[in-house]
A and B are shown apart, each in its own frame.
Chain A
């Protein structure tokens, strides 16, 4: 295990380096720079923009900037955010908790629901329930996630929704939050989390369910499932302990893949629900050409992907004895 983790660490470093370099170079190929937008709405003179560029070191040749960046990166310095005038690490760090909370909640919904629905479908193929669920999962899978979010707002948000019981946007109630009891604060945050997590989670669950259904179908035809029945075990035990336990294995791979997917889906959900997360920061920074933030976020995303895949691999090892005992 130690060797495995060490290998992963080296891999992570290599990936971070490649991602940082690619992002750094590719992003700067886009037209414009942090100060180009100033042509719109305000009459910033060329002199102003030139001075601004000089102040930020953007007038230097690209390779100089690149090596400076790498040198800083090695020391753990991700540079300064042009838009927020503070270290990128701080900028990203301020937003990560919100994204993690949303992603974790969404993952929970995604996998709990997806596995359950998919397993049920796999065990009852051809039934009316299976057909209905297939239509439902396909629809949810195809529907744009931001549309789904907006529909939820129209259904459930206070004042604007049909069943106005949940907040429409944000991670906590503006102004009132600080004056709630600790219990009230926790509850407030949970209430705000429900709609965005459901949106992101349902969209993912649809995909997971389809995957799980296929895996379940594969497994349920296997001989050992028949053996389990022949032993007189309850059908529930046959489905869960024998069939699903094996059908989960491919779905574990999905888990590792969902980290980056969550990041991208989270952006849209973050916009619709005005969630103070990393996704929006990255989009806003990309539009503002805040090179350091975007590169920093790309690095963070790369690290998350590595972590996600590592967790998936470890889970696989835990769950599948054939893999575990090979090493």
Chain B
């Protein structure tokens, strides 16, 4: 099967006064049609920049300095002209963002903002666009959509704002939906609703989805496959199940340990010692090595590459090479 999205060696760098920061450093992954890929990491890992890079939404002084992003029809998004890129954005690949309150234009109604996506990509009358917008609002679960369509963002609750964002994103039946932490800014109770909505709609529309998150709980419930990012690189990539059952990378293991569990109450929560390094000062060789509980001499000398531990399971760690062929 042709991947919906094929990202190879994507590198996005920022020119700063402290030097060039490679926020996304040689990242490669595939997104298969219909699947949900989770990208997980702490802040500063490069996950959001990765997501933005796909649609070339990274603002100056950042720019994609290397790599290719090839969508299902074979077009390399990195090399598209502005006009071609515009045709992809919102239509073939759509994106929803973390803060719905600031991600919606405060002076335009919900309906207008949904309709303009429609009218940008289809020849459709204003009336028809408005009707479709009302339909979409209904679809995303907003009550009384024919009234709400004329509401301004500030008149809607956080959850409803995110639903409007979703409606906007889905309006042109995209093949891929990128969701950058869509529930982080919402109440816990709403989070579940939104996630459910998104997964339902994904099924309905037959989309592939990239879900950026730092929350492993969401990963467990929603994603099919996961990529863990640290220091601008993917450090582990596998199916969700295998990630949780057989984590290979020390970072992944530490993340999993840090999640509080109902069935294993502890006096103190586990943390990962140290802090996430800034993109201008990645540690040499293995970027996790200063914080790694299983540190070896080699780790600070040679940068590890992604190696296959088992089928459909890659990890970037020298531990895997120590005992070639064996697990963990």
Contact present between A and B (CB < 8 A): yes
Q: Which residues of A contact B (CB under 8 A)?
A: 126, 221-224, 226-235, 237, 241-242, 245-246, 319-322, 325
Q: Which of A222, A223, A232, A241 contacts B117 (CB 8 A)?
A: A232
Given A230-B90, A322-B107, 17 extra CB contacts under 8 A = A126-B60, A223-B103, A224-B104, A226-B103, A227-B165, A228-B105, A229-B57, A230-B95, A231-B116, A231-B168, A232-B89, A233-B120, A241-B116, A242-B105, A246-B107, A321-B152, A325-B152
B121 interface residue (CB < 8 Å to A): yes
B103 contacts A231, C-beta separation under 8 Å = no
Give chain A nearest CB distance to B87 CB in angstroms: 7
B154 interface residue (CB < 8 Å to A): yes
Residues of B within 8 A of A242 (CB): 105, 108
Over the window 105-132 of chain B, the binary record of Cβ atoms lying under 8 Å from chain A Cβ atoms (1 yes, 0 no) is 1111100000011001100000000000
A231 contacts B107, C-beta separation under 8 Å = no
A231 contacts B106, C-beta separation under 8 Å = no
A224 contacts B86, C-beta separation under 8 Å = no
B91 contacts A322, C-beta separation under 8 Å = no
Give chain A nearest CB distance to B126 CB in angstroms: 15
B106 contacts A232, C-beta separation under 8 Å = no
B222 interface residue (CB < 8 Å to A): no
A-B contact pairs, 13 of them (CB 8 A): A223-B97, A223-B99, A229-B57, A230-B55, A230-B57, A232-B85, A232-B91, A233-B86, A233-B120, A241-B108, A242-B108, A321-B107, A322-B107
Alpha-carbon separation in the docked complex, A233 to B88 (Å): 10
Q: Which residue of B lies closest to A242 (CB)?
A: B105
Give chain A nearest CB distance to B162 CB in angstroms: 12
Q: Which residue of B lies closest to A125 (CB)?
A: B60
B82 interface residue (CB < 8 Å to A): yes
Q: Which residues of B contact A (CB under 8 A)?
A: 55, 57, 59-60, 82, 85-91, 94-95, 97, 99, 102-109, 116-117, 120-121, 152, 154-155, 165, 168
Interface centre among A231, A234, A237, A246 (most CB of B within 10 A): A231
The total number of A-B Cβ pairs within 8 Å is 84
Alpha-carbon separation in the docked complex, A221 to B55 (Å): 17
Residues of B within 8 A of A231 (CB): 89-90, 94, 116-117, 120, 168
Residues of A within 8 A of B59 (CB): 221, 226
A227 contacts B103, C-beta separation under 8 Å = yes
Interface centre among B87, B107, B120, B154 (most CB of A within 10 A): B107
What are the 5 A-B residue pairs with the smallest beta carbon separation, nearest first? A232-B90, A232-B89, A231-B90, A223-B102, A223-B103
Interface centre among A222, A223, A320 (most CB of B within 10 A): A223
Alpha-carbon separation in the docked complex, A84 to B317 (Å): 95
Residues of B within 8 A of A233 (CB): 86, 90, 116-117, 120
Give chain B nearest CB distance to A224 CB in angstroms: 5
Q: Which of B90, B107, B116 contacts A245 (CB 8 A)?
A: B107
Give chain B nearest CB distance to A326 CB in angstroms: 9
Q: Which of A226, A228, A235 contacts B82 (CB 8 A)?
A: A235
Alpha-carbon separation in the docked complex, A321 to B113 (Å): 15
Residues of A within 8 A of B87 (CB): 232
Alpha-carbon separation in the docked complex, A230 to B95 (Å): 7
Alpha-carbon separation in the docked complex, A217 to B84 (Å): 27
Residues of A within 8 A of B109 (CB): 321
Alpha-carbon separation in the docked complex, A322 to B107 (Å): 8
Residues of A within 8 A of B107 (CB): 245-246, 319-322
B106 contacts A224, C-beta separation under 8 Å = yes
- Given the interface contacts A246-B107, A321-B107, does A227 sit within 8 Å of B97 by beta carbon? yes
A226 contacts B152, C-beta separation under 8 Å = no
Q: Which of B103, B116, B121, B155 contacts A224 (CB 8 A)?
A: B103
A322 contacts B121, C-beta separation under 8 Å = no
Residues of A within 8 A of B94 (CB): 230-231
Q: Which residue of B lies closest to A221 (CB)?
A: B59
Residues of B within 8 A of A241 (CB): 108, 116
Give chain B nearest CB distance to A23 CB in angstroms: 41
Residues of B within 8 A of A224 (CB): 102-106
Q: Which residue of A lies closest to B117 (CB)?
A: A231
A234 contacts B106, C-beta separation under 8 Å = no
Give chain A nearest CB distance to B238 CB in angstroms: 29
Q: Which of A232, A234, A246, A319 contacts B105 (CB 8 A)?
A: A246
Alpha-carbon separation in the docked complex, A53 to B253 (Å): 99
